[in-house]
Amino acid sequence: MLCRIADLLIEVPEAGGMSPRCREYLTNQQGGADITIRADLYKSEKYGGAGENTVAYMESCIQFCRQLIHFDGLYLHSSAVELCGKAYLFSGPSGMGKSTHTRLWQQLFGDAAQVFNDDKPALRRLDGRWFAYGTPWCGKDGINQNKKVPLAGICFLRRGQENTIRRLDEMEATARILSQTMRRFRDVERLDLLLSHIDKLVKEIPVYELYNKPEPDAARLSYETMRQGAEEAGL
């Protein structure tokens, strides 16, 4: 099935439960695929007897992310929320409360805050500007929308006894992003491309670290800080 994901034409195998996941992304657009995901390359042995749907979800995502590098893009393990036409991403290791924090944004701002991917949004730099996209690879809850939203900020979450936020320097931001994206490549070319993309990303998009408690005040602090940082960066 031919899908339009992150402004690219992607051929995705229907098998393994990917058809309903990709429903919002189906397209009749003419032309060859930019990326072809191949089911014959799925490595089911990596998943210890997991079902066909799990294998298809994981392996199709891996193939997409590897090829996305060649289109000025990368994915970030994060929850992405849109507010006032801008995208804000919350990342960190599993268990740090990414989904909880974006739900707090929805609690605080109501329908104005829309979570458009809850696991693996795609990022692309087009004409000198970064955009975040919804993708079919959106985690166990299936929260995603087929959207393209200008990126305004990235925040890495940590649990804390109080709510404090600081902007990371470029070196810190690079390390955090590397820890939450695909970084193991067999060829040096793709790794160099990834590092080049991340270097641009941390220079052009403010990146923060938020120690927080799961409460609306943390959401208010992150939004106000990131909104101000985006305005100062001209985003």
Q: What fold characterizes domain 74-235? A: Phosphoenolpyruvate Carboxykinase; domain 3 (3.90.228)
- Averaged confidence pLDDT in the chain: 92
What pLDDT does residue 119 have?
87
Give the residue-averaged pLDDT of 116-125.
94
pLDDT at 44: 84
User: Residue 142: pLDDT above 80?
Assistant: no
- What whole-number distance in Å separates Cα of residue 184 and Cα of residue 100? 29
Residue 102 banded pLDDT, cuts 50, 70, 90: confident
The maximal CA–CA distance of the chain, rounded, in angstroms, is: 54
List where CATH 3.90.228.20 sits in the chain.
74-235
Cα–Cα distance, 229 to 206 (Å, whole number): 6
- SS3 state of residue 171: helix
Handedness of CA 73, 131, 8, 81 (dihedral sign): positive
